[in-house]
Amino acid sequence: MSPVTVSRALAQLAAEGLVVTRPGAGAFRAQPRPQAAAAGDTSWQEVALSADGAADVVPRSVDASGVLVSLAAPPPGVIEFNGGYLHPCLQPERAMAAALSRAGRRPGAWGRPPMEGLPELREWFARQIGGPVTAAGVLVTSGGQSALTTALRALAPPGAPVLVESPTYPGMLAIARAAGLRPVPVPVDADGVRPALLADAFKATGARVLVCQPLFQNPTGAVLAPERRGEVLRIAREAGAFVVEDDFVRRLVHEDAGPLPRPLAADDPDGVVVHVCSLTKATSPSFRVSALVAHGPVLERLRAIQVVDTFFVPRPLQEATLELVGSPAWPRHLRAVSAALRSRREAMTAALRLHLPEPALPHVPSGGYHLWLRLPDGTSESALTAAALRAGVAVTPGRPYFSAEPPAGHLRLSFAAVAGTGEIEEGVRRLRTAFDDLPGRPGQRAGAHRPG
């Protein structure tokens, strides 16, 4: 065996507690661990966890299921149409590894960073967003999820209403509910959130926060229309409310998209917008670096909550981000992802039109990583999702995307987390099988194929 293999084996045994290594002396068998103590009685926790909150206006509930659906790995052999991140073959693995290794050797890399983030990284985020945004308004945060949590906790007290698009990202609804907030849905159409309904919702609820995704909205893929951008900001301003802009997939624009609208934050001199953008979607779920951007006194509130909750983003990761986005591999990677997502989207839409025309596909987005299908009336989402899994494809049901009763059944199909277009076609064929297996369906269609 090579010395490297031996030292890796020893490191693993040491980590498992089976050997101890003494520098200069060798590796020795560790003392056996004492027997585990008898399992205690944890039933008291049921009472403790339910006892508080009696005085809460809106009971807090922590439910991670909407988030886990896009994070959990599917069982072996199952095609992952429910993933929320790029498949490893689309991730810039080499560039991230090189960036991390260079970052680890930068002077001071393991020291304490400034609490708001490294100045050069704040500067980079500010340049990316554009408009009046400067580095002083940027806080470096640990992924979009954490930035949204900070924003909602900072902007709305427990019990307060918060306006959300309908449908919207279940992870954000989970954040709101865990903070004791009351999500109030405002419908989205092909042009984004509907201004007249937004104005009504502000009036009816007195909410001080709207959370929206103006670009390639999750799940509909809608882009806020140019004439609505100013209107949404004006309506929020008149209501004395903040707009939390979750700009989560700007970097996953498809090759055939036209020029992208600027972030709302770039056209907001009055500090209405609290902007969130994250690098995870274009890199890897583990590359947890994002920015929370604001202007005015609210910045201090956001900064305080971020420091209290998480201190700061690990400096090596911030340094690695600077290495990554400054390397020639970064623009190359973004171009490659842009081309791959376009061909995956085309493969999925073509396969759906061929094999599964029944669900409506009202909008084909030119960015992001998924399609949003409306199921025919009377189709049970949960039965279809379960049948799909039996047929070997994991899909995301639409229900968790609605904070109130949904108008119809939906499915979200992701094309980023699979290995390639072959898997996309096979996944859609499996979905056809699942559809035919639903109670009341006529049975197998010609050409549909059951996986072995």
Partnered with residue 162 across adjacent β-strands are 183
By CB under 6 A, name the one of 83, 113, 117, 143 that touches ligand PLP: 143
CA–CA separation, 172 and 223 (whole Å):
18
Cβ burial, residue 314 (10 Å; 0-12/13-18/19+): middle
By CB under 6 A, is residue 338 in contact with ligand PLP?
no
Element (H, E) at 306: helix 298-310
The residue (of 289 and 351) whose beta carbon lies closer to ligand PLP is 289
Q: For residues 170 and 409, which CB has a smaller minimum distance to ligand PLP in the complex? A: 170
- Nearest distance from residue 100's CB to ligand PLP, in Å? 18
CB contact set of 171 (below 8 Å; sequence gap of 6+): 66, 67, 70, 145, 148
Which tokens go with 252?
């996953």
Q: Is the Cβ of residue 165 or residue 423 nearer to ligand PLP in the bound state? A: 165
In the complex, what is the shortest distance from the CB of residue 31 to ligand PLP, in angstroms, rounded to a whole number? 42
Q: Which residue of 92, 117, 144, 365 would you call a contact of ligand PLP, by CB under 6 A? A: 144
Instruction: Check residue 221 for interaction with ligand PLP (CB under 6 A).
Output: no
- Looking only at the bridges linking them, the beta strands covering 161-166 and 182-189 are parallel
Nearer to ligand PLP, 281 or 333 (CB): 281
State yes or no: residue 278 binds ligand PLP (CB under 6 A): yes
DSSP letter, residue 21: E
Beta bridge mates, 245: 212, 275
Q: Which residue, chain included where needed, has tokens 């490659």?
A: 336
Q: State which residue, 278 or 379, has the beta carbon closest to ligand PLP.
A: 278
Stretch that binds ligand PLP, among 12-20, 140-148, 149-157, 328-336 (CB under 6 A): 140-148
Exactly one of 91, 149, 166, 280 binds ligand PLP (CB under 6 A); that residue is 280
| Binding residue (CB under 6 A) for ligand PLP from 171, 392, 397, 398 | 171
How many beta carbons lie within 10 A of that of residue 174, not counting itself?
23
Interaction between residue 70 and ligand PLP (CB under 6 A): yes
Interaction between residue 427 and ligand PLP (CB under 6 A): no
- CB within 8 A of 50, min separation 6: which ones? none
Could you say whether residue 84 binds ligand PLP (CB under 6 A)?
A: yes
Residues 6+ apart with CB under 8 A from 208: 155, 156, 160, 239, 240, 241, 242
Stretch that binds ligand PLP, among 138-146, 150-158, 329-337, 389-397 (CB under 6 A): 138-146
List, as one string, the DSSP characters of 96-139.
Answer: HHHHHHHHHTSTTTTSPPPTT--HHHHHHHHHHH-TT--GGGEE
Q: Does 372 bind ligand PLP (CB under 6 A)?
A: no
Complex with ligand PLP: residue 133 or 292, whichever CB lies closer: 292
Rounded to the nearest 10°, the torsion over CA 327, 332, 334, 339 is -170
* 169 lines the binding site for ligand PLP (CB under 6 A): yes
Q: At closest approach, how far in Å is the CB of 386 from ligand PLP? A: 23
Minimum Å gap between C-beta 84 and ligand PLP is 4
Q: Could you say whether residue 369 binds ligand PLP (CB under 6 A)? A: no
**With 0-12 CB in 10 A as exposed, 13-18 as middle and 19+ as buried, what is 4?**
exposed
- CA 34 vs. chain centroid, Å, equals 42
Nearer to ligand PLP, 165 or 323 (CB): 165
DSSP class of 209: E
Taking CB under 6 A as the rule, does residue 180 contact ligand PLP?
no
Contact pick of 91, 149, 150, 218 for ligand PLP (by CB under 6 A): 218
Q: What's the closest the beta carbon of residue 246 comes to ligand PLP, in angstroms?
A: 5
Q: Which is nearer to ligand PLP, 146 or 379 (CB)?
A: 146
Considering beta carbons, is residue 169 or 242 the nearer one to ligand PLP? 169
How many residues of this chain interact with ligand PLP, rule: CB under 6 A? 15
Instruction: Choose which of 124, 242, 248, 312 interacts with ligand PLP (CB under 6 A).
Output: 248
- Binding span for ligand PLP by CB under 6 A among 58-66, 106-114, 143-151, 442-450: 143-151
Residues 281-320 that bind ligand PLP (CB under 6 A): 285, 290
CA-closest candidate to residue 192, choices 165, 172, 210: 165
Nearest distance, CB of residue 186 and ligand PLP, angstroms: 16
Distance separating alpha carbons of residues 326 and 266, to the nearest angstrom: 22
C-beta of 218 vs 318, nearer to ligand PLP = 218
CA distance 197 to 186: 6
Cβ neighbourhood burial of 111 (10 Å; 0-12, 13-18, 19+) = exposed
Binding residues for ligand PLP, rule: CB under 6 A, are 70, 84, 143-145, 169, 171, 213, 218, 246, 248, 278, 280, 285, 290
